[in-house]
Amino acid sequence: MLDTLRVISTPEGVELTLRLAGPVSRCLAWLIDVLIRTAIFLAFATVLGSLDRFGAGLAAVLWFLLEWLYPVMFEMLRRGATPGKASMKLRAVMDDGTPITWGASLTRNILRVIDFMPLMYLAGFMSMLISGRFQRLGDLAAGTVVVYSSELAYPNTLPDAPVRTPPVRLLPEEQRAIIDFAQRLPGWTDERADELAAIAEPLIENKPTASPSMQLVGLARFLLGQR
């Protein structure tokens, strides 16, 4: 059965939910990108047209770059989203939820020529319906999927726990990790939360009245200025 949700379990035991993009939204994103590429080409072609054969050669090179490198560069530099995908809140990622790689982006975009066969992306459309994860042939070869890009929304309020002063000086990235942990805590079981919190052993005190996860929440509340 077709399902727009795909749940991926990470090695840390956290489940990521990807909402797969279907043919309609992907088609609209593709049309927007086509319009953008066409507008860019026409704008430059108007100037290049005055250069006769040399201008025609430059126009051919420009069309090649827009057709093949435009999607790759945007996917790699804009977190998997071309302007068309971004307007539809889509992005291309690896099928395990990790950011798309250069090799995967090149593969999925080069194989668009096969997806186009025999006419107007019919092969790609049929592949999306059959694959169950809306993957066209290029996606299947590259190991990629197109998903809705929605940032994870974590609660602004943290679980209730006594505020703790960090026993050691924390680097900015360590502070961010503790705050992220506290914000994600409601999505884990108590056992899994304590197991993850125990990794920060230098920050955890051996107190039977305070679990490791709640101790980290106390640190997070301190870092956020909650007293």
- Residue 53 class from Cβ within 10 Å (0-12 exposed, 13-18 middle, 19+ buried)? exposed
Domain parsing of the chain, residue ranges: 5-148, 172-223
The letter for the amino acid at 48 is L
Structure-block tokens of residue 204: 């955890």
Backbone angles phi, psi at 34, to 5 degrees: -60, -45
Q: Which residues contact 99 (CB under 8 A, 6 or more apart)?
A: 79, 80, 93
- The pLDDT assigned to 102 comes to 93
DSSP 99: B
Q: How far apart are CA 97 and CA 79, in angstroms?
A: 12
Stated as kind and residue range, the H or E segment containing 6 is strand 5-9
Q: How far apart are CA 152 and CA 139, in angstroms?
A: 24
Structure-block tokens of residue 174: 């360590």
pLDDT tens, residue by residue, 72-126 = 999 999 889 999 999 999 999 998 888 899 999 999 999 999 998 888 888 988 9
Q: Is the pTM of this model over 0.85?
A: no
pLDDT tens, residue by residue, 59-79 = 899 999 999 899 999 999 988
CB pairs under 8 A, 24+ apart, for 79-83?
A: 79/149, 80/149, 81/149, 82/29, 82/33, 83/32, 83/33, 83/36
**E strand map for 109-208:** 144-148
- The pLDDT assigned to 185 comes to 83
Cis, bond preceding 83 (omega within 30 deg of 0):
no
How high does pLDDT run on average in the chain? 85
- The pLDDT assigned to 168 comes to 85
Residues in a beta bridge with 20: 147
Q: How far apart are CA 75 and CA 85, in angstroms?
A: 9
- The pLDDT assigned to 227 comes to 64
pLDDT at 194 over 80: yes
Distances (CA, A) of 1 to 22, 133, 139, 144: 14, 10, 19, 19
